[in-house]
A and B are shown apart, each in its own frame.
Chain A
């Protein structure tokens, strides 16, 4: 890399950073020689899957590693001073004063028993040597700047009195308030909803432009990278394998890992229905010494020399480096081979199938009532679901999207009779089964895979013991696992393998409908692709219908035939997935699509910034008129007083809005 080039402008330069964690089971080499430099005002993203060492690297930069972690080598130069040789008191001055941090979970990084004022003001007083009154004024100004309404009053709020998005804004205000040269943000938007995430990213982007603060953004979300970062570094097994301008790296990736990762993500319109690339194998065990390139075992282009020596980063374009012996990484043929088979068959023609409904719900609603022990207190009613009617036909997938609190998981629970609806009816032909979000908690840790998959058969007494054992073996092969996995416990499986077992279990009773509630959101990008491919294949092979619930719009678009967009416990738009995504009619659908980052950096640059304001109203206090009226850009008097109903205006499409058409 070219250190000398921009020495004057350089805020941070890292050389050969190595971090190790000494655990009971051996030394984990989390960071294996990372070097990079950042200029003033630069927005740089570090991407990688879990275990790639990205967070360990970021924590090493400010020497905030937790116990067994230790930086064993490297220099981190911040404005001419090496952080690695500083004393603890010098370091304390640097943290906060020159480097600000924003972490993933604002609830745990803010002190729950201190008011925002007490957490913000003292650091400002110390770092900027201001008196209390001035520091308080500065704090209020920053809160205002990060978009906290009524900042002068909200500064006296406790963290738990704020929403997740607001808390993250407070964290950002705190990080910026001491005017640092550099901000390190570790997955700052991962815990937030899409619309709030878009607001935060936009805020970070404008603030860095205004203040000239450089920002290091650590994330696993490639879409966010293309939206936010000018430069991107891709990490794999503790090393940067590709670094360069985001446009170049995403537009013309040179490292096989970057190339496969980018093809493992469902893209919007142009991606169509081509199968997602699956990266074979697993990341290497970081406790072992890695000989040669760390990616060689999973790379179709690997040669002999890849096993002999690790390729260094070398230039592939203007400030675009990649660590691969091949000048262009994988060729098109290898990538196509990783898609395994040819493109998926075109989806069955919606009109050609007999109109055979497998699942139908009628005006479904669910209200949770919390009574009080005092008889004169009014019971609190949470209206989680308010009159939802859905229909799923045989062999089709209905995608349900919406932000947290919109009632999509409640729909799933009602469909599976985990909860009883307050009003409305559900008709299901055959049985419905479920795939849960978190594959680790949906299994009894004391049961082996064998017993987990066989449990639904055992409960319902299907067939003889031998029949069941045979069925279990068929099922596990069907989800792409070797029967030898049957002997294992869930804790001995990876996240993707667990989710496969969950799918096998859901299939055991030959269901007609499988309800999948965020089945891929706990998984890494490359594993996610495998599960999505698996679900698509099963749908085609077995003719099962799916209800696919997710907040990830590109995945839902890829997998669904029909789509229902939910807001505050109601369906606000319903129609064929491709049409809804191409031409959203309801303002909320449009807002969601605008907020969701896409993978193409140039498209991100061209996109008009029209980010929806505000947050979801509380389901305790639903607006009288249209639920979306509080945030809608087209709101009128009518919307505030009269509730729009779901109306069909074009064939197959329905919206609940006064202003469509």
Chain B
């Protein structure tokens, strides 16, 4: 850091003790712990999957078709004798990748565009918000379906499509947060010290939007996982034989009466992941915003 007396813009306000304190608070939160209790075992299984005595996800076994769940096949097998558990774990990998990528991309674009719209106002605001409002007029699943039909199938196009449908919501959230902060007295106080716009943005406004954004991002991750499953279920997302929770469920749907486990068990896993992410988002909210605690 230069000592010549020029204004230091990005020197963080001693983040470490505080960040660590907040993180401990997050970890000790009851809802965080419930969320982790569900999510961590799933993650451990996903990571360990290649080393477990499971049949490979793509391997077929015509001597063991549509078998009941057993010790060899804990989630049973499907009509081509593939191991449902090992396919599910592979699908979870895809789901989590999609969920977190979408959350990260929407967060990044949402923060930038929302901050610009909220802080600079006027024409820029109107331009950004008009586009955002038009996009928001479509249900996000429909928007994603439309986009996938343009950009094609596969993990990467799916991430792009879902993120594109999610960004408008983040823009709106960030804009409203910025608008609220802009009128706070500490912004006026900084202005009386002749603070530049960059100073106001990076020292006062953006740091105060992080907590609610993280909450929104964790919910967006859960939502993206569900949307990806829906797209794959409709045959628009991840294409078979590559497993994804959505297309596994679709495969099993036809045999629901003879082999309920093919669809139901992966479905339960999706449910568990979505629930755990919602618990985590509650945990983030409660540990970052003291008023949220009841």
A438 interface hit (Cβ, 8 Å): yes
| Known contacts A438-B185, A441-B185; A446/B207 CB under 8 A | yes
Question: Considering the chains assembled together, what is the distance between the CA atoms of A369 and B1 in angstroms?
Answer: 46
| Nearest Cβ on chain B to A3's Cβ, whole angstroms | 42
B194 interface hit (Cβ, 8 Å): yes
Q: Would B5 and A456 count as touching, CB distance under 8 A?
A: no
| Known contacts A447-B13, A458-B8, A461-B7; A434/B189 CB under 8 A | yes
Cβ 8 A contact of A444, one of B186, B191, B196: B186
| Nearest Cβ on chain B to A284's Cβ, whole angstroms | 23
Q: Would A444 and B185 count as touching, CB distance under 8 A?
A: no
A433-464 interface bits toward B, Cβ cutoff 8 Å, 1 = contact, 0 = none? 11011100111111110110001101111111
Number of A interface residues, CB 8 Å? 34
B211-227 interface bits toward A, Cβ cutoff 8 Å, 1 = contact, 0 = none? 00000000000000000
Question: Considering the chains assembled together, what is the distance between the CA atoms of A441 and B3 in angstroms?
Answer: 32
Cβ 8 A contact of B5, one of A444, A445, A464: A464
Cβ 8 A contact of B193, one of A24, A465, A509: A509
Give the number of A-B contacts (CB < 8 Å). 76
Number of B interface residues, CB 8 Å? 29
| Known contacts A442-B185, A445-B208, A448-B13; A418/B8 CB under 8 A | no
| Known contacts A464-B5, A465-B1; A459/B190 CB under 8 A | yes
Q: Would B199 and A459 count as touching, CB distance under 8 A?
A: yes
| Nearest Cβ on chain B to A509's Cβ, whole angstroms | 7
Give the residues from 406 to 452 in chain A that come closer than 8 angstroms, CB to CB, to chain B.
Answer: 413, 416-418, 432-434, 436-438, 441-448, 450-451
| Known contacts A448-B13, A459-B194; A442/B7 CB under 8 A | no
B162-188 interface bits toward A, Cβ cutoff 8 Å, 1 = contact, 0 = none? 000000000000000000000011101
B1-29 interface bits toward A, Cβ cutoff 8 Å, 1 = contact, 0 = none? 10111111001011000000000000000
Q: Would B5 and A462 count as touching, CB distance under 8 A?
A: yes
B250 interface hit (Cβ, 8 Å): no
Question: Considering the chains assembled together, what is the distance between the CA atoms of A446 and B7 in angstroms?
Answer: 19
| Nearest Cβ on chain B to A319's Cβ, whole angstroms | 45
A505 interface hit (Cβ, 8 Å): yes
B56 interface hit (Cβ, 8 Å): no
Q: Would A434 and B3 count as touching, CB distance under 8 A?
A: no
Chain B: which residue is nearest A515 at the CB level? Answer: B192
| Known contacts A446-B207, A459-B7; A436/B193 CB under 8 A | no
| Nearest Cβ on chain A to B57's Cβ, whole angstroms | 46
Q: Is the interface of A mostly helix, strand, loop or mixed?
A: loop
Q: Would B13 and A416 count as touching, CB distance under 8 A?
A: no
Set of chain B residues within 8 Å of A450, measured between Cβ atoms: 14
| Nearest Cβ on chain A to B5's Cβ, whole angstroms | 5
Set of chain A residues within 8 Å of B234, measured between Cβ atoms: none
Question: Considering the chains assembled together, what is the distance between the CA atoms of A120 and B293 in angstroms?
Answer: 37
| Nearest Cβ on chain B to A563's Cβ, whole angstroms | 24
Cβ 8 A contact of A456, one of B14, B184, B193: B193
Q: Would A455 and B5 count as touching, CB distance under 8 A?
A: no
Q: Would B185 and A460 count as touching, CB distance under 8 A?
A: no
| Nearest Cβ on chain B to A463's Cβ, whole angstroms | 6
Question: Considering the chains assembled together, what is the distance between the CA atoms of A451 and B14 in angstroms?
Answer: 9
Residues of B near any A CB (own CB < 8 A): 1, 3-8, 11, 13-14, 184-186, 188-196, 199, 203-204, 207-208, 290, 293
- Across the A-B interface, the 10 shortest Cβ-Cβ residue pairs: A456-B193, A442-B185, A461-B7, A441-B185, A416-B192, A444-B186, A451-B13, A459-B195, A461-B5, A442-B189
